[in-house]
Amino acid sequence: MNTENSDDGGKRIKAVQRAFEVVSVLRQAGTVRIQDVADSLDIPTSTAHVHLKTLESVGYVVKDANGYRLSLRFLQDGAVVRNGLRAYPTAKVEIQNLAETTGEVANLGVEEDGQRVIVYQSEGSEAVYDNAPIGEFTNMHWTALGKAILAELPEDYVRKIVDQYGLPTATENTIAEFDPLLDELATIRDQGFALEDEERRTGIRSIAVPLKVEESVVGAVSISGPKERFNDSRITNELLPALRDRTNVIEVKIAYE
């Protein structure tokens, strides 16, 4: 068994790491040929072929006339994981109601490994899609969902996340330094919601409220849309009350399940 020591003192199996690197190539590129994988990972064609055939044999890669692609088994696994989350089963209907009521995109997000993950999404009749699909992992500090969750986490854990991922910028509005981020998180705690003001996508604003059960944050709920419709007046008078109402319903239902 080919292993190597990691920075944290543990051992890693190189073949398993390589297999998931292959999965990552397929996830990003879609259907690929053996040579595409070999070129992307700078490995011999024979090695790429062995990994692809192994993944195919266990059902996680499918080969067709155009090449290799990920199989729907990943969808099955994702559904199992999502159904096991504390917030998802209860929140799903309320997220749908929030989207229908506001006409915008409503999202449920959680934190995993220091990143924001969209667990569920529903689009209202006027929704403008901002290219943030279900299952997307991204930086916490440039999304309303992520900041709403960060504001409820201990400062040492926030610092650990920043040490791991840094504070990369997506737009000129993205927070890029740690102290301003802490100030922003303090403001979020005081006002009870997070605002994303073109910090990830130009032209998109979003507001989010944390989901808390027994004083612990289990996720966050957001509404997002074009900045023209997300003016301060509408946020204050319409969107934020609707968001808080649905979030409160989710919290109560989870607490009394």
198 near 222, Cβ under 8 Å? no
Is the same domain home to 174 and 51?
A: no
d(CA 194, CA 220): 10
Residue 32 maps to which CATH number?
1.10.10.10
Is the same domain home to 106 and 10?
A: no
Is the same domain home to 27 and 126?
A: no
Percent of the chain with pLDDT over 90: 84
d(CA 79, CA 71): 14
Alpha-helical segments (H) within the chain: 14-29, 34-41, 45-57, 73-83, 88-102, 144-150, 155-165, 178-191, 232-234, 240-255
Task: Using the 3D structure, point to which of 71, 105, 122 is the last residue of a domain.
Answer: 71
d(CA 34, CA 10): 31
Residue 114 maps to which CATH number?
3.30.450.40
Whether residue 180 is predicted with pLDDT greater than 60 in this model: the reply is: yes
Whether residue 252 is predicted with pLDDT greater than 90 in this model: the reply is: yes
Residue 169 lies in a domain: yes
Residues 219-224 have a mean pLDDT of 96
Is the same domain home to 52 and 86?
A: no
Residue 187 lies in a domain: yes
Q: 146, 153, 152, 138: which is closest to 109 by C-alpha?
A: 146
What residue numbers bound the domain in which 24 lies?
A: 3-71
Whether residue 181 is predicted with pLDDT greater than 80 in this model: the reply is: yes
Whether residue 11 is predicted with pLDDT greater than 80 in this model: the reply is: no
* Residue that wins the pLDDT comparison between 255 and 6: 255
What is the structure's pLDDT at 26?
96
Give the tens place of pLDDT for each residue, 188-204. 999 999 999 999 999 99
Is the same domain home to 65 and 120?
A: no
Residue 191 lies in a domain: yes
What is the structure's pLDDT at 3?
54
Task: Using the 3D structure, point to which of 38, 71, 104 is the last residue of a domain.
Answer: 71
Task: Using the 3D structure, point to which of 25, 41, 71 is the last residue of a domain.
Answer: 71
d(CA 84, CA 110): 13
Is the same domain home to 44 and 136?
A: no
Residue 40 lies in a domain: yes
pTM of the predicted protein model: 0.87
Total structural domains within the chain? 2
173, two tokens: 């509005």
Is the same domain home to 165 and 251?
A: yes
Is the same domain home to 127 and 42?
A: no
What is the structure's pLDDT at 7?
55
Residue 143 lies in a domain: yes
72 near 78, Cβ under 8 Å? no
Give the tens place of pLDDT for each residue, 101-146. 999 999 999 999 999 999 999 998 887 766 678 889 999 999 999 9
Is the same domain home to 219 and 98?
A: yes
d(CA 26, CA 73): 14
Q: Give the pLDDT band of residue 86 (cuts 50, 70, 90).
A: confident
Residue 76 lies in a domain: no
Percent of the chain with pLDDT over 70: 95
Residue 245 lies in a domain: yes
Is the same domain home to 21 and 92?
A: no
Residue 135 lies in a domain: yes
- 240-255 and 88-102 helices cross at what angle (nearest 10)? 160
- Whole-angstrom distance between the N-terminal and C-terminal Cα of the chain? 46
Is the same domain home to 95 and 176?
A: yes
Is the same domain home to 88 and 167?
A: yes
